[in-house]
Amino acid sequence: MQLSELFVSHKQVEPVSFDRPTPSPIKPIYLNLDRAHKVTTELEGEDTPAVETADMSTWKVPELEGVTAKWSNPYSNNKTTWVSDITAAYRKLGLNDNAIKNLLSKNALESSWGRSAQGDFNFGNITTGKSWTGRFVQGRDKDALGNPISQKFRAYGSMDDYVKDEIQLLTNLYDFNQDDNFDTFIGKLQGGNSGKRKYAEDLQYADKVRKVYNSI
């Protein structure tokens, strides 16, 4: 099956529409941040040279205040490059193949394989929350009842900044663990976490992510 057959429309899933606090710095319980990590992904089907892992223990979102100008998405017409770049960013954090495939499926659905993002490099449509002091964009969203609302979405300086913040948020609020199988991973995003939070209000969210996951 060709990648072009797997593309999904951004209209198939609603962006995250609830308010999220800025997560506290991640505690690297399971991330292998002390050494280079070599992984082989099912997506590429071949070995990838080892890369240096990043130290996330003191990482913070850049303090870039204010509304960002309109972003020119470098991946709007290049899905293959998007897959390669976001996969490489996850590898830098020491994540294993299992986690990368789970996360890639989620982001591919929410961004239509990198073609759309509410904020710069924000392929998970993460809202600002009350404590966010970085850049943001004002975007459109829908609440749980389907009513249109206005939201502020985080804007990042790079793909690396996005995936670091995403993993911090998923770990702190949704009990993310890189060794979870897909069912456990998606279950936590849909209320199976300790805080009973839902990452997306779309009732078909889990099935849509699963469809992408099974197609990879």
Rounded to the nearest 5 percent, the helix, strand and coil shares of the chain are: 30, 10, 55
SS3 215: helix
- pLDDT given for residue 23 in this prediction: 46
The number of domains in the chain is 1
- pLDDT given for residue 122 in this prediction: 95
The candidate with the shortest Cα–Cα distance to 26, out of 69, 56, 71, 67, is 56
Contacts for 47 with CB less than 8 Å, ≥ 6 apart: 38, 40
DSSP 8-state symbol, 147: -
Structural domain boundaries enclosing 104: 3-215
Written as tens digits, the pLDDT of the chain (216 aa) is: 444 343 333 334 444 433 444 444 444 333 433 333 333 333 444 444 444 445 555 555 444 455 555 788 999 999 999 999 999 999 999 999 999 999 999 999 999 999 999 889 999 989 888 777 888 887 666 655 666 666 788 999 999 999 999 999 999 999 999 999 999 999 999 999 999 999 988 889 999 999 999 998
Residue with tokens 């509410």: 118
The candidate with the shortest Cα–Cα distance to 4, out of 108, 101, 74, 86, is 108
Report DSSP letters for 73-137, one per residue.
-TTTT-HHHHHHHHHHHHHHTT--HHHHHHHHHHHHHHHTTTT--SSTT-TT--B--SS--S-EE
Give the amino acid at 47. D
- pLDDT given for residue 30 in this prediction: 38
Between CA 65 and CA 70 the distance in angstroms is 15
Between CA 79 and CA 112 the distance in angstroms is 9
Query: What distances in angstroms separate CA 160 from CA 14, 28, 116, 122, 164, one per listed residue?
Result: 24, 17, 17, 11, 6
